[in-house]
Structure 1
Amino acid sequence: MTHRLFEGKQHALLYQKFRFVPPDEVKHIILQYLDKKKGQPHVLAVDLGCGTGQNSRLLAPFFQEVVGLDISKCQLDEARAVPGYPNITYREGTAEVLPFPDSSVDLLTAASAAHWFGQKQFLAEASRVLKPRGCMALLGFSQERLHYGECGDKLTNIYCDVKESLAPYTNSRVTVNDNKLEEMFSAIPFPDKERVESIQVSCSISVRTLVGFMESWSLFQTYRRQDNQAADALSHNRHSEVTDHQVAATVASTSMAHRLFEGKDHAASYWKYRICPSDQLIQQVLDFLDRQKGRTFDLAVDVGCGSGQGTTLLANHFAAVLGTDVSPAQIEVALEHTSTPNITYKQCVAEDLPLGDSSVDLVTAMSSFHWFDRPRFLQEAHRVLKPGGCIALLNYTMDMELSYPECCSTKLNQVCKEFYDALRPYRSPHLGPCSIGLYREAYDSLPYPEKEWQECTLVKRSMPLLSYIRMIESFSSYQALQRKDPQEACMLSMDITQRLLSVMGVTSSDTEVVVGVRYFYLLACKPKE
């Protein structure tokens, strides 16, 4: 790794704040490949060219030990500053001389870094340190496109113009990445190897994050070293162009948070049918905040607020409440249904909150955290929370249970189970098989000594049967089916409704049923010192 282009403290700060975390889709492919080729146990993963540690942190829950290796001391300082990962160590070193014994490493990874390595020396070292059946995963991304309303092509053109302007400052090694590491793949001396291309993922980011991402490029930094004033002007002008095309909107989307709740009809359905935490659950959150921080409660921020049902539950307990969501349609519906003077709403992404450091008493995410870029959101929550401030992440499982007087619950819930099973193939891969695991992983990763985990708190709600059906229809998995085949989705809902009515022995879908919802949540307090 002879190329030292990511050395400065300011560049490392840009890298930490604006570089993308490899998506869960890629993480699952790597871990499944390792399981298939080598199997358990997963003892040691080494992340080469780790930079500020985004990929290293992604691997931490799945290995006994992770080592991040990078040539830049500034990058490693930023990586070490992220708390909560006791099984990660960071070392200064190169990919061509790995500080590990022969046959000692289960997995070698390099995320957007392998194009900087000396190919021959690196591959020789990889062969030496990997265990028999150990694996190597080299990642990159390319062909980014921007999307916002009807101006996606214009935004992408602006983005490409920046790249073209900076082309004279491109290091020759960047073309290796642009060619998708084809030469590196051909040179890998292992007969058992695979290429996976065109994994399409989306990430919602603010315009400032997009510009910061471009400023973190090696070619931009080379340009800055040559003409700092011109580089600043380029950033400012492109930021202005993008926001002009977005009509002062604050969110763009580039290939890599997940935008599945965008339409006005879906947002209206969200407001009408989605359940929110019970008063008892909210009180448990407030009691935890009172124990850790004490009164007064100035500002709560509800992130991924949707159409604002959970946000309104906080209004009586705080001087001010801010609800944020990436979807303009959800924010529009939330604004239509609020008359509480101390609530405001703002469209923005969860990973880039428009708030000052140490300014927030409580950060909540109610049935939304699983859609975020979770490591970046937790870092952002840590930044905005006051010392002694708390974070509360709440969600519920999909396997809700119905009950109706003088009706066999087993038969009733067998129909419900078939409803859920029919939607399971349309569940986003980002969520994994069960979202409880994602929240438990976040709980384990939080470095706060004061934290609580609660699983399967049963909350019962009475509602018309039709409201239950409409609530399930608002889920992302049903919406995915509806996009694929509207007729099939409609027939599924009608069939389930008729079968439930038959089991209940009634004819009206306005008949009230009791829905049992299993909540789980984590609460954590940012240390006061």
Structure 2
Amino acid sequence: MNVFAGTSAYYRRFRPGIPVAIAVLLDQAAPTDSPRRLLDIGTGPGLVVHALLPYFDDLFAVDAEPGMLTEAEAMLRPALDSAHRLQLRHALAEDFLPPEGWQPHLVTCGRVFHWLNQPRFLDRLSEYMAPEGVVAVFSDRSLWTADNPWQQAAREVVQDFLGEQRRAGDGAFSASGPPYEDVLRASAFSHVTSTVVAVRRQWKISQVVGYLYSTSFAAPHLFGDRRDDFELAVTDALTSFTDRGVLTEDNVFTVLTARRPSEHEGR
């Protein structure tokens, strides 16, 4: 089951990008080399790769949804110059193997780690990561989990149309497992650092609708012939929260960077 089927065009247009502060943090965390290699897992339309283009020149983007890779191609190719090399691969993160000898210095999992078989993925990653390489796991709060009043109102509209339980495409969303930091500490990448990056965003109601259609819990096909009714209901629910047509969101990214411990740390 692909929980993001039919969402890729909305994902590219309406999902917020990665803040510059996170791109700088990841640049500083990862080892330097030439060529400097980035592997982005669950790349979607390439938002993470796009943010990291100033810092990496040999880029691999992996996603399990072909439509996402089409959007990534359209977003990233025009932004590349002759110093960049980009490869896109249709694969599950847990099954992916790069070409022989290709070792990433940074592996990014942005807004995707909860979808993975995490121990299996990290075991596979340990087979090909550069010795000093860093894996970064990061996400902000989705509209489903946000505590802002207008976002709660939008979630209630989704629940009115699709039911109280959070959807994941045509199925139900599974509860989270152990904290990500614990999962990383139990892997080969047990030296973990946590950073919180605050972000403020402004939305129009039409952008909120587009964002909802980019999610697994409100994918367009889930509404069938009720899409117009859904969009009208979201508009009605959010209008009173707007200030001159704008909705303000305060959110945070939690960024975990993990690497193998050094010999000194391992003793």
If the length of structure 2 is used for normalisation, what is the TM-score? 0.80
Give, in whole Å, the separation in 2 of the partners of 1:277 and 1:505. Answer: 25
Corresponding residue for 1:174? none
1:513 aligns with 2:247: yes
Larger radius of gyration: 1
**Partner secondary structure for residue 130 of structure 2:** strand
Output the aligned Cα RMSD.
Answer: 2.8
What pairs up with 1:78-477 in 2 under 5 angstroms?
Answer: 259-263=2-6, 266-289=7-30, 293-295=31-33, 298-338=36-76, 339=78, 340-341=80-81, 342=84, 343-355=86-98, 356=100, 359-398=103-142, 399-400=145-146, 410=149, 412-419=150-157, 422=160, 424-428=164-168, 431-434=173-176, 437=178, 439-454=180-195, 457-477=197-217
Contact between 2:122 and 2:188, CA under 8 Å: does it hold in 1? no
Give, in whole Å, the separation in 2 of the partners of 1:461 and 1:286. Answer: 23
Corresponding residue for 1:525? 259
How big is the shift at 1:307? 1.0
Contact between 2:241 and 2:247, CA under 8 Å: does it hold in 1? no
Consecutive unaligned residues of structure 2, counting only runs of 5 or more, are none
Residue type of the partner of 2:136? Answer: A
Aligned residues: 251
How big is the shift at 1:330? 1.1
Give, in whole Å, the separation in 2 of the partners of 1:384 and 1:351. Answer: 12
How big is the shift at 1:317? 0.3
How big is the shift at 1:524? 0.4
1:19-47 per-position Cα deviation (integer Å, ceiling 9, x unaligned):
xxxxxxxxxxxxxxxxxxxxxxxxxxxxx
Cα–Cα, structure 1 residues 316 and 505, in superposed 2: closer, same or farther, change >3 Å?
A: closer
1:422-463 per-position Cα deviation (integer Å, ceiling 9, x unaligned):
56513337753457x5524423422434211346x4311223
Cα–Cα, structure 1 residues 401 and 514, in superposed 2: closer, same or farther, change >3 Å?
A: farther
Consecutive unaligned residues of structure 1, counting only runs of 5 or more, are 1-201, 203-258, 403-409
Greater relative contact order, per chain length (Cα 8 Å cut-off, separation 6+): 2
Give, in whole Å, the separation in 1 of the partners of 2:129 and 2:233. Answer: 47
**Partner secondary structure for residue 486 of structure 1:** helix
Cα–Cα, structure 1 residues 416 and 344, in superposed 2: closer, same or farther, change >3 Å?
A: same
Cα–Cα, structure 1 residues 382 and 431, in superposed 2: closer, same or farther, change >3 Å?
A: farther
Residue type of the partner of 1:498? Answer: D
How big is the shift at 1:528? 5.4
How big is the shift at 1:475? 0.8
Give, in whole Å, the separation in 2 of the partners of 1:297 and 1:260. Answer: 35
How big is the shift at 1:268? 1.1
Contact between 2:166 and 2:172, CA under 8 Å: does it hold in 1? no
Contact between 1:303 and 1:324, CA under 8 Å: does it hold in 2? yes
Contact between 2:165 and 2:172, CA under 8 Å: does it hold in 1? no
Identity %: 18
Cα–Cα, structure 1 residues 416 and 447, in superposed 2: closer, same or farther, change >3 Å?
A: same
